[in-house]
Amino acid sequence: MHLELKQTIRTRGLVPFLLTGILTLTGCRAEKPYEVLETKGHDPSLFTQGLIVEGNDLIESSGGYGNSKLIRYNAETGKLLNSAPLPKTVFAEGIHQLDNSIVLLTWRENRAYRLDADTFLIRQVFPLETEGWGLTHDSRNFIQSDGSDQLYFRNSSTFKIEKTITVRDAGEPQDRLNELEFAKGLIWANIYTTPMIVAIEPNSGEVVFTLDLSELTAKHHSNAPGYELNGIAYDPARDAFWVTGKRWNKRYLIKIHVKNDL
C-alpha cells in the first residue's frame, strides 16, 4: 500500500464529539494535525508492543520469543527503573496498568498475565480466547484487540469478555487494530504495518478520524517490516501522546490538533 508522506485527518462524524466536549483537542490554528513537543531517545533493541504512561514514567512491553520483557523508565530522562524478562515460551504484546497490577497479553499463547506493578512478578494467569495484540482500559473494562476489526471489552476482575464491537471506517471494516490507548472518551489504535493511528468511538465502533504519522515513520527505515509504528500512550499531565515504533531509536511526544470547525 502506497501512502503519501503527509499528515491528514479524515473526519467521520466528529462534530457531535466536539459539541459535547467528549473530544477536547486544542490548537485550532495549527496547520498540521499534530506537532512534536519533544523528541527523546528510545532503546532500538525494543520490539515495542505496549506503551503506557504511569506518573512520570513509561512502562513498555517488548516482544519476541525468548526476548520478551517488561521495562519501566523515566519519561524525561530515559533512565531505566525496572526490567523483567517474561517466560521464553511467550511473545509479549499489549499492556495496561490498573491499580497495583499490570495486565499483559501474549500473542498466540492463549493467556494473559496479571503482574505486580512494582516487582513485575506474575501473580495470576487468565485464559485468552483470541490472539493478543493491544490492551487498554476505559475506567470500567479492559479493551483488547486481536488484529481483526473486533474489540473485546473484558471484565476488570475476571478478564472475561462482556461485549464485542466491530470497528468500521465509513462503513468498511477496519482491521489490523494493534496497540491501544483510551483517552478523551475515545479508543486510539495503531493500524499495524501502516503509519496510521485511528480514533474510535467506543459505543458505535466508528472511526471518527485518522492521523497519518508518515513524517515520523519515514525517519525510521520507512516503516520497513519490524520497524512499524507501534506504541501510543496518553500523558494527561501534558495533554499529549507519546508515540514510538518497533526498534525505533526515538520516541515522540505529540500534541494532536483538531480544528474546531471540522
Taking only the tens place, the pLDDT of each residue in 199-220 is 999 999 999 999 999 999 999 9
- DSSP class of residue 149 equals S
The H or E element that residue 247 is part of is none
In a domain, residue 73? The reply is yes
Residue 222's pLDDT is what? 75
Residue 45's pLDDT is what? 97
In a domain, residue 212? The reply is yes
**33-64 burial, b if ≥16 CB within 10 A, otherwise e?**
bbeeeeebebbeebbbbbbbbeeebbbbbbbb
In a domain, residue 3? The reply is no
Domain that holds residue 130: 15-256
Question: Distance from CA of residue 126 to its chain's centroid?
Answer: 21
**pLDDT over threshold 90, residue 70:** yes
In a domain, residue 90? The reply is yes
Whichever domain contains 29, its CATH number is: 2.120.10.30
Residue 155's pLDDT is what? 98
> What's the total number of domains in the chain?
1
Q: Which three cell numbers stand for residue 129?
A: 480466547
In a domain, residue 58? The reply is yes
How far apart are the C-alpha atoms of 150 and 226, rounded to whole Å?
24
Q: Is the dihedral of CA 212, 214, 215, 219 positive or negative?
A: positive
Instruction: Check residues 142 and 3 and name the one with the higher pLDDT.
Output: 142
Which candidate, 102, 105, 244, 237, places its Cα nearest to that of 183? 237
**133-162 burial, b if ≥16 CB within 10 A, otherwise e?**
bbbbbeeebbbbbbbbbbbbbbeeeebeee
Residue 246's pLDDT is what? 97
Residue 258's pLDDT is what? 65
In a domain, residue 1? The reply is no
**pLDDT over threshold 70, residue 147:** yes
Taking only the tens place, the pLDDT of each residue in 148-189 is 999 999 999 999 999 999 999 999 999 999 999 999 999 999
In a domain, residue 2? The reply is no
Which candidate, 85, 89, 129, places its Cα nearest to that of 111? 129
Q: What residue type is 262 in one-letter code?
A: L
In a domain, residue 7? The reply is no
Which candidate, 233, 232, 234, 229, places its Cα nearest to that of 245? 229
